[in-house]
Amino acid sequence: MARERLARTSKPQREPSRPSRLRIWVKRRRSLVKPAIYGVLGLGALGVLVLAVRAVDPAGRVRGVADSFAHVGESLGMTVQQVILEGRRNTPTDMIRAALGVSRGDPILDFSPEAARTRIETIAWVQTAHVERRLPGTILVRIEERRPFAIWQNNTRFVIIDRDGRVVAADGLDQFGPLPLLVGPGADSAGPALYDLLKREQDVADRVQAMVRIHERRWNLRLHNGTDVLLPEGAEAAAIQRLAELQREARLLDRPLAAIDLRLPDRLVLRPTRQAEPSEIITPRPGGARRG
């Protein structure tokens, strides 16, 4: 009975199976795989350590330690190999290159993305910048540029400005296509508001050559035909709407006039060319314009 029970519970012995070729290949190369994995982990830890040292020691008291690690990274092949730039349209590449302050072959762990970002954002064209270090050898730069809004003439100087009035370029003004022309001190900051009002009345906007700031208080519109439209201070929206109505009803903006004075709320003063004094006064009324 004992033998029978043993025979029932014991498993038949199998002949040892031969390892597959894949298992043999992996086993033979295990000595090479482990060092490679440890090396990658070590490089990552090295980068983290350098960043940690610089974060806790901004004054540079242990800067030499970080530099030593940076040189170790260089000896392991962690050097700048390429710079990827995204979002650039008008910003000169030589300015970005100078702001980065890094060349191919420099230790990448010795490169500070934050410091580079700060320098890049001092460039007039750049509104915001993002700089990223991607080990082992890539630097990514992504910028958002300021958009050219208008040409600003201040005295005899012409520059390109954005909607905030910041000067972004002083050369090659014709390469940006047709832009509104703002003239005079203060026109750079006050111009966008007037421009938006004009865009509501396209018939008027299409005939405006320049928006001229007068004594930093009010506006004149210089039309393509040479006519000056004098707008009232603080009531530009109503005056432009009134001007658009007169254009639709009487083609006023197409007449050969030296000036159209809208500064008086209850009347319109027209100055023909070659005549200094007002010669015609139109008092607008609902449904049309009446001369008197």
Coil, strand or helix: which one is 217?
A: coil
Higher pLDDT, 124 or 34: 124
Average pLDDT of the segment spanning 122-131 = 97
Mean of per-residue pLDDT scores for the chain: 80
| CATH class given for the domain over 150-291 | alpha beta
Task: Say whether pLDDT at 138 is over 90.
Answer: yes
Q: Which fold has domain 35-52+61-145?
A: Ubiquitin-like (UB roll) (3.10.20)
| Predicted model pTM | 0.67
Q: For 145-167, how does the pLDDT look when each residue is reduced to its tens digit (9 = 90+)?
A: 999 999 999 999 999 999 999 99
The residue ranges of every structural domain in the chain are 35-52+61-145, 150-291
Higher pLDDT, 26 or 153: 153
